[in-house]
Amino acid sequence: MLTVWAILIDGLIYASWLFLVAAGLTVIYGVMRILNMAHGSLYALGAYAAASALGWYYNGVGDQLWIALAIITVCAVAIGALAGLIMERGVLRLMYGRDEVLMLIVTFAMLLILEDVMKLIWGTTPYFAYQPYAAMGRFNIGVLTVSGYQLMVVGVSVAVGLALWFWLERTRVGKILRSIIHDREVSEAMGVNVRRMFTITFMIGAALGAIAGGVTAPIISVVPGVGVEVIVVAFAVVVTGGLGSITGAAIGALIVGLARAVSIHTMPELELFIVYAVMATVLIFRPHGLFGQAVARKI
Amino acid sequence: MGHITPQAGLRRKLLSTATSIALVSAGAMGISQATHAADTFKVGLVTFLSGGASGPFGVPAAQAAETVIKAINAGELPAPYDSAGVNGLQLESVVIDEAGGPTKQVEEYRNLVQRQNVNAVIGYISSGDCLAVGPVAEEMETFTIAFDCGTPRLFEEVENPTYLFRTGLDAVADNVGAAHYLNDAKADAERLAGIQQNYAWGQDSWLDFTLAMEQLMPDMEIVDNQTPQIFQGNYGTEISALQTSRPDIIHSSMWGGDMEAFVAQASVRGLLDQATAILTTGESGLHRFKDQAPNGTILGGRGPFGGFMPDNDLSAWFSKAYEADHGTPPSYPASKMAQALLGLKYAADNSGAEGIPTSEQLAATLKGASFESVSGTVDMGLAGGHQALQPMLYGEYHYSADTGPELRNVRAYKGECVSPPDGKDAQEWIKAGFPGADCN
């Protein structure tokens, strides 16, 4: 019974983190049809920015938890949005209308460039900013102990999911974005400034990636390449859920998170295999993912 | 360190463009890349300057090389290395990033020997790189020291070596030493669990360790072993699984940022209050853990390196000089690089050569030799005189804000206790109950 509870709790916690990582990726693909390989670098940028700022804050400036959490949020959003703006205006804008595969290669190039830029800025030494993680304490559930910070990540993930739903379903900008998703050309013909919407979308998607990194920074050691590791599992989640679907990303994260937890608690040697086994199984029966929709190709 | 997984291979591939930056970094560190001259001895240094192994291992090793080479050239080392240069020649280095995988490293090695005309090569943290480069070193007849890689297969793949040496211990010694330490210090422990990175290094370490535990503490019950992906970073679910299996001891061969992240997360969640962790590479976090690791956590340093260095003139000089140059005490990878360079200086100074010693002269001098180092006396007593035989040490981590980090209850196990006799298969030796081991 304890193992079942542990699987459910761990699965939920990991799924929340996965959703945070994958949300920005799927938002950008859903609106812009760009499979953004550089999303991992945006995650890493958020992690480095948060870890650096927390290091500065806890090194004699203060030790208030709520200020530390505010620092994480502000730094991640700022660096993610700024990097997104530069990437979209500086590179992607020049490529609109090209084949999706070309866009994939362009974002892969940006990933390589950003990885080296981060090494130039932050070097290769690991950054630790564990203080918020430690400060939020832990809760005992039987012999299982869960950290308060992990529970907060669940809350942040739910909040991000609800905010995205509200933004896309209940705001004017969201309605415009949905019209772009349905038909980019008709939207443009109706007077929608698609390029401006693309800039906004990419900045928000980039900020979401950076927030995921910022929130994760107090849990991990932030090292070069941390974003490259994340992008692989983020792709597995969004492909399982259906590229471009927020609901799909959430369900995909939940399925992958629970499957991984089952594996770790019962057959740890299958931990690596299980994530991709889930993805492959879903794609066999639903080639576009759980919530993905087949789209007729325009010629 | 160990072999690198396909995932890590992908990662290194993605980061391969960092090589150019790494070379710039090497220049910034003041490592000379000047052209070869007749009065210089040119050594190729290969270490991770990018990727996940660079921060905890590669860069400290490169920094140690910078410090030691500077002192060798200035004649500032303590005796017996107080003569300037190597065999009177200024030591010049060419630094190469180890990132990129074994195939790339073989190309880099050939480039070092054929185009850069190096006289010797020191390098290799990844066991995969060691295994790939070892045969090439023999083929190209170039004096080569593997300074850190831990695979016990190195001298199985390169039988009867002439030019290839390793001045550090292999992973068998790490894990046999860990089992001895637990048998001596935690004899009442009953339940054992592990967490290892899911690639050859982690798998081999766990196998060697559990085989040794079956011999030394046969009543210990193995309750779990977690195998997360290398560079995973977040170990929440693994920690839950370990908690539910209620171990007394947790063995881990995880290294670098992965190891430090696991310790921080497990500590916050109370796992390390419930069980004592024994970390075979934990010393690399000695000066970084602070209050993240609970007192009593057992650390190893892959031999008498870093915080486990004995008190002698060389270790005192190295600790002081390294900290002055780089602002932090040397960790074990730094000490191991220093040891390899001292091995090179020993071989060159005692080669009897006039001018630049040949690879044959260097190899003949170092083969089976005993030389002084930051870790004490190094006996090249294994693999036909090509592999170092040294003690393995473990100790408990203790930290307070007033005293900083300390290692207490340190126990040393002789090389003859933790390494199989020359020519013996390690796992067969462990399974047979360590025949011929001298642990007294």
Q: Please tell me which of the candidates B17, B241, B271 has its beta carbon nearest to residue A268.
A: B241
Same-domain check for residues B201 and B264? yes
User: What does the pLDDT read at residue B100?
Assistant: 84
Say whether both B224 and B188 belong to one domain.
yes
- Structural domain includes residue A274: no
Q: Do B153 and B219 have their domain in common? A: no
Distance (Å, whole) CA B380 – CA B65: 21
Question: A123 lies in a domain?
Answer: yes
In a domain, A287, yes or no: no
**What are the beta bridge partners of residue A147?**
A138
State how far residue A72 is from chain B, nearest Cα, in angstroms. 18
Would residue B436 count as lying in a domain? no
Please indicate, yes or no, if residue A148 is contained in any of the structural domains. Answer: yes
Q: Is the model's pLDDT at B377 over the cut of 50?
A: yes
Contacts of B113 (CB under 8 A, 6+ apart): B44, B121, B140, B142
Identify whether B1 is part of a domain. Answer: no
Among B31-35, B72-76, B157-161, B406-410, the range scoring the smallest mean pLDDT is B31-35
If you count residue pairs, one on A and one on B, with CB atoms under 8 Å apart, how many are there?
Answer: 159
Residue of higher predicted confidence among B396 and A270: B396
How far does the CA of residue A139 sit from the closest CA of chain B (Å)? 8
Same-domain pairing of B278 and B361: no
Which residue range(s) make up the domain with B124?
A: 6-170+309-389
Q: Which of A229, A231, A233 to mutate: most B Cβ within 10 Å?
A: A229
Strands B404-413 and B392-400: antiparallel
Per-residue buried b or exposed e for B32-69, using 16+ beta carbons within 10 Å of the residue's own CB: beeeeeeebbbbbbbbbbbbbbbbbbbbbbbbbbbbbb
Q: Could A219 and B265 be called an inter-chain contact, meaning their C-beta atoms sit closer than 8 Å?
A: yes
CA distances from B257 to A138, A228, B123, B196 (A): 23, 15, 21, 13
In a domain, A256, yes or no: no
Cα–Cα dist A289/A168, whole Å: 21
Q: Which residue of A lies nearest to B58 if distances are taken between CA atoms?
A: A124
Three-state DSSP class for residue A138: strand
What's residue A143's pLDDT?
Answer: 66
Q: Inter-chain contact A260–B7, Cβ cutoff 8 Å?
A: no
With CB atoms and an 8 Å threshold, state whether B50 touches A265. no
What is the bridge-based pairing of β-strands B298-300 and B392-400?
antiparallel
pLDDT of B374 > 80? The answer is yes
Per-residue pLDDT of chain A (299 residues; tens, 9 = 90+): 667 888 999 999 999 999 999 999 999 998 888 889 999 999 999 999 999 999 999 988 888 999 999 999 999 999 999 999 999 999 999 988 888 889 999 999 999 999 889 988 988 777 888 899 999 988 887 767 889 999 999 999 999 999 999 998 899 999 999 898 888 889 989 889 999 999 999 999 999 999 999 999 999 888 888 888 788 889 899 999 888 889 999 999 999 999 999 999 999 888 888 989 999 999 999 988 888 776 655 55
Tell me which residue of A204, B210, A94 sits closest to A212, measured CA to CA. Answer: A204
Residues B159 and B82 in one domain: yes
Flag whether A28 is in a domain: yes
Judge whether residue B242 has pLDDT over 80: yes
Rounded Cα–Cα distance for residues A215 and A237 (Å): 19
Q: Is A260 on the interface with B (CB under 8 A)?
A: yes
Positive/negative CA dihedral, A187, A193, A195, A201: negative
Specify the length of chain B in residues: 440
CB contact under 8 A, A112 and B265: no
The per-residue pLDDT for A139 is 87
SS3 A288: coil
Which pTM does this prediction carry?
A: 0.84
Place of tokens 């970094």: B25
Residue B374: inside a domain, yes or no? yes
Q: How many CA atoms lie within 13 A of B409 on its CB side?
A: 13
* Residue B251 φ/ψ, nearest 5 degrees: -95, 135
pLDDT at B5: 40
Query: Could you give the ipTM of this predicted complex?
Result: 0.84
* Residue B56 near chain A (CB below 8 Å): yes
Residues B38 and B50 in one domain: yes
pLDDT of residue A4: 86
Q: Which residues of A touch B18 (CB under 8 A)?
A: 115-116, 119, 224
Sort strands B191-195 and B249-252 into parallel, antiparallel or unpaired.
Answer: parallel
- Structure tokens belonging to residue B284: 């690399």
Q: How many domains does chain A have?
A: 1
Rounded to the nearest integer, the mean pLDDT of chain B is 90
Sequence-distant (6+) residues with CB within 8 A of B440 are none
A269 to B256: CB separation less than 8 angstroms, yes or no: no
| Separation CA A51–CA A46 (nearest Å) | 8
Identify the band that residue B38 occupies on the pLDDT scale cut at 50, 70 and 90. Answer: low
> Which token pair is A50?
């948060």
Residue B194 contacts A, CB cutoff 8 Å:
no
d(CA B247, CA B271) in angstroms, rounded, equals 9
Residue of A nearest to B264 (CA): A130
Given an 8 Å threshold on Cβ–Cβ distance, is B269 in contact with A147? yes
Q: Do B234 and A216 touch (CB under 8 A)?
A: yes
Judge: B224–A133 Cβ closer than 8 Å, yes or no. no
Q: What letter does residue A220 receive in the DSSP assignment?
A: S
Q: Assign residue B357 the CATH number of its domain.
A: 3.40.50.2300
Backbone angles phi, psi at B382, to 5 degrees: -120, 170
Contact B418, B302 (CB under 8 A): no
B427-432 long-range Cβ contacts below 8 angstroms, 24+ apart? B427/B207, B427/B208, B427/B211, B430/B172, B430/B176, B430/B208, B430/B211, B430/B212, B430/B215, B431/B211, B431/B215
Judgement on whether residues B159 and B73 belong to the same structural domain of the protein? yes
In a domain? residue B437: no
User: Both B427 and B354 in a single domain?
Assistant: no
Backbone angles phi, psi at B78, to 5 degrees: -65, 165
CB of A63 less than 8 A from some CB of B: no
Q: Do B286 and B208 reside in the same domain of the chain?
A: yes
∠ Cα A252 A50 A211 (to 5°):
30
Element (H, E) at A54: helix A39-56
Select the residue from A20, A116, A223 to test the B interface by mutation, using most B Cβ atoms within 10 A: A223
Select from B225, B269, B292 the Cβ nearest to the Cβ of A138.
Answer: B269
At A233 the three-state DSSP class reads helix
Residues of A numbered 175-234 whose beta carbons fall under 8 angstroms of chain B's beta carbons: which are they? 216, 219-226, 228-229, 232
Query: Rounded to whole angstroms, how far apart are CA atoms A211 and A203?
Result: 12
Residues of A in contact with B240 (CB under 8 A): 6, 9-10, 144, 146, 264-265
Instruction: Quote the minimal CA–CA distance from A83 to chain B in Å.
Output: 20
Q: Does residue A277 sit within a domain?
A: no
Give the pLDDT score at B28: 39
* pLDDT higher than threshold 60 for residue B15: no
Phi, psi of B40 (to 5 degrees): -125, 155
Q: Which residues of B touch A259 (CB under 8 A)?
A: none
**CA gap A10, A259 in Å, rounded:** 10
| CA B389-B392-B394 angle, 5° bins | 170
Distance in Å, alpha carbon of B330 to nearest chain A alpha carbon: 14
How many residues appear in chain A?
299
Among B327, B190, B331, which residue's Cα sits nearest to residue B256? B331
Q: CB contact, 8 Å: A134 with chain B?
A: yes
| Cα gap B373→B365, rounded to integer Å | 16
- HEC string of chain B equals CCCCCHHHHHHHHHCCCHHHHHHHHHHHCCCCCCCCCCCEEEEEEEECCCCCCHHHHHHHHHHHHHHHHHHHHHCCCCCCCCCCCECCEEEEEEEEECCCCHHHHHHHHHHHHHCCCCCEEEECCCHHHHHHHHHHHHHCCCEEEECCCCCCCHHHHCCCCCCEEECCCCHHHHHHHHHHHHHHHCCCCCEEEEECCCCHHHHHHHHHHHHHHHHHCCCCEEEEEECCCCCCCCCHHHHHHHHHCCCCEEEECCCHHHHHHHHHHHHHCCHHHHCEEEECCHHHHCCCCHHHCCCCCEEECCCCCHHHCCCCHHHHHHHHHHHHHHCCCCCHHHHHHHHHHHHHHHHHHCCCCCCCCCHHHHHHHHCCCEEEECCEEEEEEECCCCEEECCEEEEEEEEECCCEEEEEEEEEECHHHHCCCCCCCHHHHHHCCCCCCCCC
Q: CB–CB of A115 and B15 under 8 A?
A: yes
How many structural domains is chain B composed of?
A: 2
Question: Residue A18 sits in which domain range?
Answer: 2-224
Is B59 in CB contact (< 8 Å) with chain A?
Answer: yes
Is A115 in the B-facing interface, judged by CB distances under 8 Å? yes
Of A11, A124, A143, the CB nearest to B50: A124
Alpha-carbon distance of A295 to B2, in angstroms, equals 46
Place of tokens 């949300």: A23
Is residue A189, in this structure, part of any structural domain at all? yes
B1 interfaces chain A, CB cutoff of 8 Å: no
For residue B164, list its beta bridge partners. B144
Range list of β-strands (E), chain A: 138-141, 144-147
Say if residue B60 is in the same domain as residue B138.
Answer: yes
> Does position B20 have pLDDT exceeding 50, yes or no?
no
Fill in the DSSP letter of residue A59.
Answer: I
User: What is the tens place of the pLDDT at every residue in B47-65?
Assistant: 998 777 887 889 899 999 9
Torsion angle in degrees (nearest 10) through CA of A51, A26, A284, B9: -30
A169 touches chain B (CB under 8 A): no
Instruction: Work out whether the CA dihedral B354, B355, B361, B365 comes out positive or negative.
Output: positive
State the average pLDDT over residues B329-354: 96
CA B347 to chain centre: 21
Integer Cα distance of B88 and B93 in angstroms: 16
**Cβ separation B15–A260 shorter than 8 A:** no
pLDDT at B37: 57
Using the CB atoms, write b or e for B197-218: b if 16+ within 10 Å: bbbbbbbbbbebbbbbbeebbe
Q: A269 vs B236: CB contact, 8 Å cut-off?
A: no
Contact list in A for residue B56 (CB cut-off 8 A) is 126
